[in-house]
Chains A and B, each alone.
Chain A
Amino acid sequence: MKRISTVVIGAGQAGLAMSHGLTRHGIPHVVLERGRVAQSWRTERWDSLRLLTPNWQSRLPGHAYVGDDPHGFMSMPQVIDFLDAYARAGNVPVAERTTVTSVTAQGDGYRVDTDRGAWRCRNVVLASGACNRAAVPACAAGLPDAIDQITPLAYRNPAQLAPGGVLVVGASATGVQLAAEIRAAGHEVTIAAGEHIRMPRHYRGRDIQWWMERAGIHATPIEEVEDPNRARRLPSLQLIGSHADQFADLNGLRARGVQVVGRLAGLRDGVAQFSGALANHCALSDLKMNRLLAACDAWAEREGPADLPPVERFEPTAVPAAPRLSLDLAGGAIRTVIWATGFRPDHSWLHLPVFDRKGRLAHRGGLVAPGLYTLGLPFMRRRNSALIDGVGADAAFVADHIANTRGRLAA
């Protein structure tokens, strides 16, 4: 069995940033990666996806975007190149094609089993991502066999879908993006929208991510949030990595002929039932957007640049007068259901008592247990913890914590 101070699991942006921090402290470590660097970006993303943050905001410790399109949005090949370059520049000790099968406690540290042998270590950093599994509701099991089901992890482009109607369940960034491109490919599309958050791509002449950074919204620490569990569960903002439209919202989808219905409440006798709460979900979304814009405006008033265009407010989301409440799935109108209902991390190999009653990894700002850390989860320490731009500060914190506690101890 190999021995080392620290094992990092996953060579995406979180694991690579973690390696940077450990190297800074001179802490021996290895980064175990089931595939290649940036594996999830290579294999679990749809073709048209671009980052929701502009290029200038792609910053990791010791690494940043240097191209000639700072306001553009990286495609997946560009993200992969960006992370490959980071791994090369940092000489990161990545063990590729090494799948972790089990993490258990052993002595004062941990034992990490892989399909290529075992490691003994003092510290483990879970950097394997927040989106390993699609969170599909239980009612999916009741769909008629004639209907194809697909999650965003397997979806690539509209060409892989059978001809016919598509029901997209979920209206976060994923749901609105897929609904728009599948509709543009000629399918009849229905989108079921529960809680969602509408947001303009650009506001008062600047990208919304510029506003969220400058107004201090991205850096909000979890301690300042009234309900951390709720903050961590919020759906992603309805954004797309493109400047073509100001909104990727339900209004835009309806204008393109997408039918908007309420949250999928369940299936009964082959009939999909949609919540009658669509109007309130849209009202909550507009209120959330306006609160965020008001916070941005308040910051701009105090300390923003003088040349900003004036305050804008937007027409509220238009709700259908009588939204559809049910849809007979046996009737042939729907051929494919896409579960854009969120993602969960996969910790099935983590054999330690570190989960809460809902099966979620319990942690305080990334500290799971002595010598056990996590990275890259939504709002882990700050609002942008799950973003490429946010994971660096968290990784630096964890590296400092390891260095100050048990980093130099041999396994």
Chain B
Amino acid sequence: MNPQTAIAAAPVNNGVNTEALIGARGAFEQAPEAAQFTFRGTCDWIEGTYSRNAINGFFGLGQEHERTRTFGIESDHPAVFAAADRAPTPPEIVLSALASCLTAGVAAVAQHRGIQLRAVRATVEGDMDVQGILGMDPDIRNGFSAIRVAFHVDADASRDDIAALVAQSQKRSAVFDILTNPTPVAVTVA
């Protein structure tokens, strides 16, 4: 479908300000250093496998940013691992991060392409052989051996257009890239 005609026919509103994002692209073309962001958080151990992350400040557009509120993400292990199950496991948070990232991308791409969304649900699954994290078999990795995301999208668009939304969302997703490509990770003791 032609996005221009779709917009003319009925304003599409998925709640994403794509004009601002496209404006940012133009600005970063002129000043690429402003595109350098650093995200961060702190994690405090509470008890057992239970911990709490606080997420607030980040660096971007050449300066520090402080939000008006601090977000918290808690994590724990389930009862089958002899833990108290007070929050999702870290790998489940990773799966959630992937699903959220791809879903946000679907909304943004749909807005840009003039596709009105009615409902979007991503179902995410990751397979893990826990012999890896238990140190039982060096041939088994700790992390997921495979991750699957299934999207159910209700929108005014053809099946191919929806497939293209989901594909483009993966192409531009930070978390999809983080999970599919290696990243150097430095862990130090202060």
Interface residues of A (CB under 8 A from B): 262, 265-266, 268, 273, 275-277, 280, 283-284, 287, 290-291, 322, 357
Contacts and interface: CB of A to CB of B under 8 A. Distances in A.
Interface in B158-175: 160, 163-164, 167-168, 170-171
A316 to B, nearest CB: 10
Contacts of B146: 322
B138 to A, nearest CB: 15
A387 to B, nearest CB: 27
B180 interface: yes
A287 B160 contact: yes
A275 B32 contact: no
Given A277-B170, A357-B32, A287 B163 contact: yes
A284 B164 CA distance: 7
Contacts of B32: 357
B181 A265 contact: yes
Contact of B179 (A276, A284, A287): A276
A266 B163 CA distance: 29
A80 B133 CA distance: 61
Contacts of A291: 164
Contacts of B176: 277, 280
Contacts of B181: 265-266, 273, 275-277
Contact of B182 (A273, A277, A283, A284): A273
B57 to A, nearest CB: 29
A280 B167 contact: yes
A275 B167 contact: no
Contacts of A276: 179-181
A284 B167 contact: yes
Contact of A265 (B145, B163, B168, B182): B182
Nearest to A265: B181
Interface string B100-143: 00000000000000000000000000000000000000000000
A283 B163 CA distance: 8
A71 B173 CA distance: 43
A287 B182 contact: no
Nearest to A285: B167
Given A277-B170, A280-B170, A322-B146, A287 B180 contact: no
A290 B161 CA distance: 11
Nearest to A227: B25
A260 B189 CA distance: 41
A287 B167 contact: yes
Contact of B164 (A266, A268, A287, A322): A287
B167 A283 contact: yes
B167 A266 contact: no
